[in-house]
C-alpha cells in the first residue's frame, strides 16, 4: 500500500509517495565528491566477509544531490546531536 505525505507550502505543495522501498544498511562511504556542476556524489557500501575471511564492500546505494541540498542534509544531521 502506498502512503502519501505532503511538504512545501500551500502555494507550492510537494506530494510524497512512499511505495515501501527497502531500508539499506551501510557501513562506509566509498565516494564523496562534488562535480563541476555542484552536484554532490555520495556512494555507500555494505561490508561483508567471504568464506575465506576476506572482507569486501558492495555498493549499496549511490546518491546525487545539489550542493545546497547536501548542506541542508549536513545541518539536519548535526541537529540530531542536540
For the whole prediction, is pTM greater than 0.85? no
Contact present, 75 and 82 (Cβ < 8 Å): no
Alpha-carbon distances of 63 from 38, 53, 68, 79, rounded to whole Å? 14, 30, 14, 21
**Percent of the chain at pLDDT exceeding 90:** 65
Contacts of 51-58 with C-beta under 8 Å, sequence gap 24+, read 57/27, 57/28, 57/30
Q: Is 21 a residue whose pLDDT tops 90?
A: no
Q: Average pLDDT, whole number, for the chain?
A: 91
Q: Is 72 a residue whose pLDDT tops 70?
A: yes
Q: What per-residue confidence (pLDDT) applies to 50?
A: 81
pLDDT digits (tens, 9 = 90+) for 36-66: 999 999 999 999 888 888 889 899 999 999 9
Contact present, 66 and 40 (Cβ < 8 Å): yes
Amino acid at each position: 500500500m502506498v502512503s502519501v505525505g505532503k511538504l512545501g507550502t500551500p502555494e507550492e505543495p510537494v506530494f510524497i509517495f512512499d511505495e515501501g522501498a527497502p531500508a539499506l544498511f551501510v557501513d562506509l562511504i566509498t565516494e564523496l565528491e562534488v562535480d563541476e556542476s555542484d552536484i554532490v556524489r555520495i556512494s555507500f557500501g555494505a561490508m561483508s566477509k567471504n568464506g575465506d575471511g576476506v572482507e569486501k564492500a558492495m555498493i549499496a546505494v549511490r546518491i546525487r544531490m545539489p550542493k545546497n541540498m547536501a548542506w541542508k542534509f549536513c545541518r539536519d544531521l548535526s541537529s540530531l546531536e542536540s
